[in-house]
Structure 1
Amino acid sequence: MSRAFVNEDNAAAQADQPVERQVSAQPNYVTPTGLAQLQARVAELQALHGQQASQGDLADKQRIANLERDLRYFTQRLQSAHVVAPTSSDQVRIGHWVTFVDEHDHEQRVQLVGEDQADVAKGLINWGSPLGRALLGTKVGDEVTWERPAGNLIIEVITIDLE
């Protein structure tokens, strides 16, 4: 197509649109805390969007576009959320805190959570991650293989707790 037929204003406007956030194909299981965090995030984004929109012509159009993108994502995540409250169980479930030791005697404690709540630095592990999948359904004393990019590791479940 000749450049003479390209509407440069439309092309520039499309270039400024933020890339949509990808929604995971795995079920959106969340802990009660994860649900509250999603609700708070949607409320925060709605407030920020309202603040920007109230500025009329002075509003930052790119900021509004980014907020609308994030609102679409987190609203969808909130609507698709399946709350899983941890219950007393002898098997690891979403919401449980799990202490395990690896073959090098390194002990670690993690909680299995939904993907939007995951925060490795805080020990919050997505249930669908390689570690989460390895731990899900295990019992105290079970040894399983944690398939990692850095190499597989045998881990043993030491404790399963609600908190």
Structure 2
Amino acid sequence: MSVAFRRESDDEHLEPKFEIPLPPGPNRVTRAGLALIATRIEALERALADTDTDADPAAAEPIRRDLRYWRTRRATAEPTLAPDDGSAGFGTYVEVEMGGRTRRLAIVGDDEADPHADRIAFSAPLARALMGAEAGDEIAFNGKDGAIRVLSIAPIDLPAQ
């Protein structure tokens, strides 16, 4: 019999299932980021408990994959506060003027980032350009000198008293 007519199994024709990729670099988080991770883990654990694996054993696999990702993020989380010197950095709100428009950006961890809500990851090019800036500084961005003017900086998380 020709090899072309042989059938090994149904599984060999399925797309491979990969783990969710972890962002490169440190896993810096704000207090809100730690809470976000805990909330996601709790929700996934509830969803896993509610899944009927007897009826469909594969139904739990995506939930387990997501749970592995979030548990890894919790295990590697590095709670980080804003810089002490008042400069822009991780864990700060930075009010900037760009292109004639004022925006208040939050520099946060990868899992907390939401660019549409002006929450940018510390690894994003705009965040890297702002790192170390102080109020009143004009910063080059996208090859243009003075593209960003820093108006104010404030910490996201205040240190515990």
Q: Same fold (TM over 0.5)?
A: yes
Q: Residue 9 of structure 1 aligns with which residue?
A: 10
Structure 1: gaps spanning 5 or more residues: none
- Where 1:24 maps in the other structure, the secondary structure is coil
Q: Distance in 1 between matches of 2:53 and 2:121?
A: 40
Higher strand share: 2
Q: Residue 126 of structure 2 aligns with which residue?
A: 131
Count of equivalent residues:
154
Q: Residue 55 of structure 2 aligns with which residue?
A: 58
- Where 2:38 maps in the other structure, the secondary structure is helix
- State the 1:123 CA deviation: 1.4
CA contact (8 A) 1:99 1:107 kept: yes
Q: Distance in 2 between matches of 1:16 and 1:66?
A: 14
Higher helix share: 1
TM-score (norm 1): 0.83
Q: Distance in 1 between matches of 2:71 and 2:139?
A: 36
Alignment of 1:1-150 (within 5 A): 2-3=3-4, 7-12=8-13, 15=14, 18-52=17-51, 55-59=52-56, 61=58, 63-86=59-82, 89-102=85-98, 104-147=99-142
Q: Over the residues paired in the alignment, what is the CA RMSD in angstroms?
A: 2.3
- State the 1:125 CA deviation: 0.7
Q: Distance in 2 between matches of 1:145 and 1:91?
A: 17
Percent identity reads: 27
Q: Distance in 2 between matches of 1:17 and 1:145?
A: 43
- State the 1:138 CA deviation: 0.9
Structure 2: gaps spanning 5 or more residues: 157-161
TM-score (norm 2): 0.84
